[in-house]
Amino acid sequence: MKKAKIQKEAKKPEITSLELHEQICAIRYENIEKRMESGSKRFVRMELMILGLYGAIIGTYVLEKII
Protein backbone atom coordinates (compact mmCIF):
# COMPACT_ATOMS: atom_id res chain seq x y z
CA MET A 1 0.00 0.00 0.00
CA LYS A 2 2.83 2.37 0.80
CA LYS A 3 4.56 1.53 -2.47
CA ALA A 4 1.44 2.51 -4.43
CA LYS A 5 1.37 5.80 -2.55
CA ILE A 6 5.03 6.41 -3.37
CA GLN A 7 4.46 5.57 -7.02
CA LYS A 8 1.58 8.05 -7.18
CA GLU A 9 3.80 10.67 -5.61
CA ALA A 10 6.57 9.79 -8.04
CA LYS A 11 4.39 10.91 -10.94
CA LYS A 12 4.32 14.43 -9.55
CA PRO A 13 7.06 16.53 -11.14
CA GLU A 14 8.06 18.18 -7.85
CA ILE A 15 9.44 14.92 -6.38
CA THR A 16 12.95 14.26 -7.51
CA SER A 17 14.45 10.82 -7.90
CA LEU A 18 16.59 11.47 -4.83
CA GLU A 19 13.53 12.24 -2.71
CA LEU A 20 11.83 9.10 -3.99
CA HIS A 21 14.94 7.09 -3.13
CA GLU A 22 14.94 8.55 0.40
CA GLN A 23 11.29 7.60 0.88
CA ILE A 24 11.86 4.04 -0.28
CA CYS A 25 14.93 3.70 1.95
CA ALA A 26 12.99 5.00 4.94
CA ILE A 27 10.40 2.25 4.44
CA ARG A 28 13.14 -0.36 4.09
CA TYR A 29 14.86 0.78 7.28
CA GLU A 30 11.56 0.63 9.18
CA ASN A 31 11.10 -2.97 8.05
CA ILE A 32 14.68 -3.86 9.00
CA GLU A 33 14.19 -2.40 12.48
CA LYS A 34 10.98 -4.41 12.96
CA ARG A 35 12.76 -7.60 11.95
CA MET A 36 15.66 -6.87 14.29
CA GLU A 37 13.26 -6.29 17.21
CA SER A 38 11.48 -9.58 16.60
CA GLY A 39 14.85 -11.33 16.31
CA SER A 40 16.05 -9.92 19.61
CA LYS A 41 12.95 -11.33 21.33
CA ARG A 42 13.84 -14.79 20.01
CA PHE A 43 17.42 -14.41 21.22
CA VAL A 44 16.22 -13.60 24.73
CA ARG A 45 14.17 -16.79 24.74
CA MET A 46 17.15 -18.80 23.47
CA GLU A 47 19.41 -17.32 26.16
CA LEU A 48 16.94 -18.38 28.84
CA MET A 49 16.84 -21.89 27.40
CA ILE A 50 20.65 -22.07 27.46
CA LEU A 51 20.74 -20.87 31.07
CA GLY A 52 18.18 -23.54 31.95
CA LEU A 53 20.34 -26.14 30.27
CA TYR A 54 23.35 -24.99 32.32
CA GLY A 55 21.26 -25.36 35.47
CA ALA A 56 20.21 -28.87 34.45
CA ILE A 57 23.81 -29.90 33.78
CA ILE A 58 25.06 -28.51 37.08
CA GLY A 59 22.10 -30.03 38.94
CA THR A 60 22.79 -33.42 37.40
CA TYR A 61 26.45 -33.18 38.41
CA VAL A 62 25.53 -32.25 41.98
CA LEU A 63 22.98 -35.07 42.24
CA GLU A 64 25.56 -37.53 40.90
CA LYS A 65 28.03 -36.51 43.64
CA ILE A 66 25.35 -36.72 46.35
CA ILE A 67 24.10 -40.16 45.31
Q: Where do the structural domains in the chain lie, given as residue ranges?
A: 2-66
Tell me: pLDDT of 3 over 70: no
Q: What is the largest CA-CA distance in the chain?
A: 82
Quick count: other Cβ atoms within 10 Å of Cβ 20? 14
| CA separation for the pair 64, 58 (Å, rounded) | 10
CA–centroid distance for 36 within its chain: 2
- Across 9-13, 36-40, 60-64, least confident range: 9-13
Q: Is the entire prediction scored with pTM above 0.75?
A: no
Tell me: pLDDT of 10 over 70: no
What's the DSSP call for residue 56?
Answer: H
pLDDT tens per residue across span 25-45: 999 999 999 988 888 878 888
| CA separation for the pair 22, 29 (Å, rounded) | 10
Q: Is 24:7 a contact under the CB 8 Å cutoff?
A: no
